[in-house]
A and B are shown apart, each in its own frame.
Chain A
Amino acid sequence: MYKIAVIGDRDSVLGFKALGLDVFFTEMDEDARTTLHRLAQQEYAIIYLVEELYEPLHAEIAKYKDFATPAIILIPGKSGSLGLAEAALQSAVERAVGADIS
């Protein structure tokens, strides 16, 4: 049985707690990094991560990209979408096709 985690600052992810997801509040990048690693070792199949944390954690995220679990999915934080997910999509397309096609 797998679980779902949400990592982010308090205001952005509080609502997910009501759904029964495991919510982890992290204000600092270092916190988020250790939390992410810890969760990846455990039985979390999906980890939702607010976009604000993508920049400091992108090396860690890239590490888990090629494994089947966990899936690390970016969600917009309280300040709205930063367009990072779209950029990640674009880079995946580039990786597959070998060229920028858009």
Chain B
Amino acid sequence: MTGKTINPTRMELTRLKGRLKTAVRGHKLLKDKRDEMMKQFLDIVRRNRVLRRKVEEGIARSNAALTVAAAIMGPEMLEQALLYPKAGVELDVSYRNIMSVNVPVYDFHTTNDDPAELFPYGFAQTSGELDAALEQINEVFHDMLELAEVEKSMQLLAQEIEKTRRRVNALEYVMIPETERNIRYISMKLDENERGNTTRLMKVKDMVLQDAHRYRK
């Protein structure tokens, strides 16, 4: 009806009924998927908020300490001290499946496990504030990694939820009503044909009877 004309045939009717069944089932499944993803998503958002606050506070603290260190030592010395880090960080990325969305899981290890190796400089020429700043940054780093994981998961999930939501809506408000309308149209047309046929038969029967008994002279 909408857009293209459909053949009011029994075969088309069967086809549409099958399609409606599939659409309804798909709609239900997608709706369940959307609801579950939404639940997971809101959990992640909550965790993201907490981590974000922790990380921002940690970085602010370390920046403050670093500023003091720079003031005491002079920015050039500070930069020199940090120029060649002893520690290295390597990152493994694996993927976890949340409702068929692949979200990354980060697993990092430092190439140098000795905690003293955090400080890539001799203690003679640097101020104590610098040590404090680096300790702060080291502390917040674990949270930063987790934040990256959570935030990326959140973005990927948001995208997938948006897609699923669109599909659910398309099924619910376009596909299913249209199919139902078409089914109604076909069955009405078929019923109408049937009625037309019956009256025609009755009419023919009358005519045949009339003919046979020669009621009319």
Q: Which residues of A contact B (CB under 8 A)?
A: 1-4, 10-12, 14-21, 45-46, 48, 65-66, 68-69, 71, 73, 75-76, 78, 80-81, 85-86, 89, 92-93, 95-98
Are B119 and A18 within 8 A (Cβ)?
yes
Are A65 and B59 within 8 A (Cβ)?
no
Please name 6 pairs of A and B residues whose Cβ atoms are closer than 8 Å in the assembled complex, sorted by A.
A14-B82, A73-B152, A76-B56, A76-B63, A81-B60, A93-B45
Are A2 and B52 within 8 A (Cβ)?
no
Q: Which of A20, A93, A95 contacts B159 (CB 8 A)?
A: A95
Are A18 and B45 within 8 A (Cβ)?
no
Is B123 part of the binding interface, using a Cβ–Cβ cutoff of 8 Å?
no
Which residues from chain A contact B85 at a C-beta distance below 8 Å? Answer: 17-20
Is B182 part of the binding interface, using a Cβ–Cβ cutoff of 8 Å?
no
Are B165 and A98 within 8 A (Cβ)?
yes
Min Cβ gap A26→B in Å is: 16
Q: Which of A81, A89, A95 contacts B48 (CB 8 A)?
A: A89
Is B154 part of the binding interface, using a Cβ–Cβ cutoff of 8 Å?
yes
Are A45 and B52 within 8 A (Cβ)?
no
Chain A interface main SS type: mixed
Are B95 and A68 within 8 A (Cβ)?
yes
Beyond contacts A19-B87, A75-B59, A85-B56: 9 other A-B pairs, Cβ-Cβ < 8 A, are: A11-B67, A18-B85, A18-B134, A19-B89, A20-B112, A68-B102, A71-B148, A73-B144, A97-B38
Which residues from chain B contact A96 at a C-beta distance below 8 Å? Answer: 38, 41, 157-158, 161-162, 165
Rounded to whole angstroms, the CA-CA distance of A17 and B202 in the bound complex is 96
Closest-by-CB residue of A relative to B42 is A93
Q: Which of A3, A16, A18, A85 contacts B90 (CB 8 A)?
A: A3
Given A45-B106, A86-B52, A97-B38, decide whether A71 and B137 contact each other with a Cβ distance below 8 A. no
Are A18 and B118 within 8 A (Cβ)?
yes
Rounded to whole angstroms, the CA-CA distance of A70 and B44 in the bound complex is 19
Closest-by-CB residue of A relative to B165 is A98
Within 8 A of A (CB), among B14-65: 38, 41, 45, 48-49, 52, 55-56, 59-60, 62-63
Which residues from chain B contact A12 at a C-beta distance below 8 Å? Answer: 63
Rounded to whole angstroms, the CA-CA distance of A1 and B107 in the bound complex is 11
Are B91 and A1 within 8 A (Cβ)?
yes
Are A18 and B52 within 8 A (Cβ)?
no
Rounded to whole angstroms, the CA-CA distance of A73 and B148 in the bound complex is 6
Is B178 part of the binding interface, using a Cβ–Cβ cutoff of 8 Å?
no
Are A19 and B141 within 8 A (Cβ)?
yes
Q: Which of A45, A65, A75, A89 contacts B91 (CB 8 A)?
A: A45
Rounded to whole angstroms, the CA-CA distance of A2 and B94 in the bound complex is 11
